[in-house]
């Protein structure tokens, strides 16, 4: 059974930083494309960043230059370093894993950025 467990959310002031982590189990992490999505109140879930099994990252335009996604295959973890946070980054952040055509989701972690 695939499990994705996020951690690291919380309350931070605008301009601050947070690091989210996602621990994966029950899957071939090294073959998985991993991603971070977010959903703000009243809005649809959107892609924030993805990192392929081969290690190539992609970012939403809204976070380019501020967020960094990286993975540690030996630890089955993917992390999202978020810098220069803005109030509009406030959302529930979800870890996503895609392997063999199947998507898996974590339960999410709340990030709140105060102005």
What tens-digit pLDDT sequence spans the chain (115 residues)? 999 999 999 999 999 999 999 999 999 999 999 999 999 999 999 999 999 998 889 999 999 999 999 999 999 999 999 999 999 999 999 999 999 999 999 999 999 999 9
> Who's near 35: CB < 8 A, 6+ residues apart?
47, 48, 49, 50, 51, 95, 96, 97, 98
């Amino acid at each position: 059974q695939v499990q994705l467990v996020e951690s690291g959310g919380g309350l931070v002031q605008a301009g601050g930083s947070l690091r989210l982590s996602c621990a994966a189990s029950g899957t071939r992490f090294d073959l998985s494309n991993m991603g971070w999505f977010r959903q703000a109140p009243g809005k649809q879930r959107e892609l924030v960043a993805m990192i392929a099994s081969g290690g190539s990252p992609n970012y939403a335009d809204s976070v380019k230059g501020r967020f960094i996604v990286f993975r540690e295959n030996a630890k089955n973890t993917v992390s999202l370093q978020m810098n220069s946070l803005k109030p509009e980054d406030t959302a529930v952040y979800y870890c996503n894993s895609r392997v063999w055509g199947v998507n898996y989701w974590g339960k999410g972690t709340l990030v709140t950025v105060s102005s």
